[in-house]
């Protein structure tokens, strides 16, 4: 009895013959030269993979990589099979990103996917294989193409989600309040962290696709090369999109810092201007408060005179600062 969830399919001469057959029957189908077998293992344990590795003569290092939690996206060629691993990036309804991983073993007549999580919608991958059923006759490289095509399309959805979040930040970037500035700083930090995770998944995919494309040529499946070239173009566009997003986020961060400095300068100018205005009455009252006679000393006229001087000088300073846009 094997752990986790297992799905299976078999094509004979490019035509779907059976699916969800018992895991133990995989070896029987693999022995038939006109069959192409696929098995998907979700949350497998080590014993299940070891059993499969023995049946398919899989390299133990590749098996360990499939079970490892943190592996760089890559495609490795072994004597009896090819191993690849890639990250799945998706976004939820609130715009948050979810990162998953899928590994795969491609043999001469078999294709095995290993998933440690359910972030990849395998039903969508099956739909792609069904839509391109005329390519199944070219063997496992067709299944690899459908898998990577679905993963790359999810990359575009995730990057587009990040792009939308960047536009929302731009909408509040120039709002003149401290709350908006704090919101921009917080959102920018979150976006930079999310973008780093996305770039770690996307950038190595160009190398992965190149390796698989060369292997497809070696396997005499040149008909699939244009399809892989299209995949490579998608990976390149996704990588370039993340590059432009990184530049935009950096620009937003620097602009927000500059605006914060500008707001601080404006506040300092206002404080300086009001300090100068308040200093006038202080100076006048302090001067006339000395025990020396002055015009209007000990008379009501002196009070009104000093008050008029304070108001007049303060008014002149206010108009001067206002004209200079300090207030």
Whichever domain contains 14, its CATH number is 3.30.460.20
- Ramachandran sector of residue 52 (left: φ over 0; alpha: ψ -120 to 50; beta: rest): alpha
Cα separation, 212 vs 82, in Å, equals 8
Domain count, the chain: 2
**What range defines the domain where residue 297 resides?**
262-323
Cα separation, 147 vs 152, in Å, equals 9
The H or E element spanning position 243 is helix 225-288
Cα separation, 13 vs 15, in Å, equals 6
pLDDT surpassing 60 at residue 285: yes
The whole-number average pLDDT for the span 188-198 is 89
Same domain for 266 and 255: no
pLDDT surpassing 70 at residue 292: no
Same domain for 160 and 302: no
Same domain for 154 and 91: yes
Same domain for 172 and 99: yes
pLDDT band per the 50, 70, 90 thresholds, residue 327: low
Same domain for 248 and 146: yes
Same domain for 187 and 141: yes
Domain boundary among 215, 241, 260: 260
Starting at the edge strand that comes first in sequence, how are the strands of the sheet with 5-12 ordered?
15-19, 5-12, 35-42, 110-115, 97-106, 82-91, 74-77
Question: Could you please report the per-residue DSSP string of 152-193?
Answer: HHHHHHHHHHHHHHHHHHHHHTT-SSHHHHHHHHHHHHHHHH
The mean-pLDDT minimum among 12-21, 201-210, 219-228, 289-298 falls in 289-298
Same domain for 181 and 43: yes
Same domain for 175 and 301: no
Same domain for 218 and 317: no
């Amino acid at each position: 009895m094997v752990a986790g969830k297992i799905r299976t399919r078999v094509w004979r001469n490019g035509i779907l013959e059976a699916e969800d057959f018992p895991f133990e029957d995989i070896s029987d189908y693999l022995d038939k030269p006109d069959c192409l077998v696929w098995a998907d293992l979700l949350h497998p344990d080590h014993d299940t993979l070891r059993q499969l590795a023995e049946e398919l003569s899989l390299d133990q290092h590749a098996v360990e990589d499939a079970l490892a939690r943190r592996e760089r996206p890559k495609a490795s060629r072994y004597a009896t099979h090819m191993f690849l691993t890639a990250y799945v990036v998706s976004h939820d309804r609130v715009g948050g990103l979810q990162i998953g991983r899928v590994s795969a073993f491609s043999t001469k007549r078999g294709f095995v996917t290993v998933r440690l999580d359910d972030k990849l919608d395998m039903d969508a991958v099956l739909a792609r294989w069904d839509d391109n059923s005329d390519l199944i006759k070219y063997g496992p490289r067709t299944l690899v193409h459908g898998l990577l095509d679905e993963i790359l399309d999810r990359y575009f959805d995730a990057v587009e989600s990040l792009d939308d979040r960047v536009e929302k930040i731009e909408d509040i970037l120039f709002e003149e309040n401290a709350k908006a500035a704090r919101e921009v700083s917080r959102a920018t930090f979150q976006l930079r962290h999310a973008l780093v995770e996305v770039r770690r998944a996307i950038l190595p995919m160009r190398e992965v696709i190149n390796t698989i494309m060369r292997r497809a040529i070696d396997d005499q499946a040149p008909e699939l090369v244009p399809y892989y070239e299209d995949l490579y173009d998608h990976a390149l566009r996704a990588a370039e999109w993340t590059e432009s997003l990184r530049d935009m986020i950096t620009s937003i961060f620097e602009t927000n810092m500059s605006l914060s400095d500008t707001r601080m300068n404006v506040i300092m100018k206002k404080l300086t201007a009001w300090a100068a205005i308040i200093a006038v009455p202080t100076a006048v009252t302090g001067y006339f408060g000395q025990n020396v006679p002055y015009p209007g000393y000990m008379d009501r006229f002196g009070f009104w005179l000093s008050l008029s001087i304070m108001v007049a000088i303060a008014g002149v300073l206010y108009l001067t600062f206002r004209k200079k846009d300090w207030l």
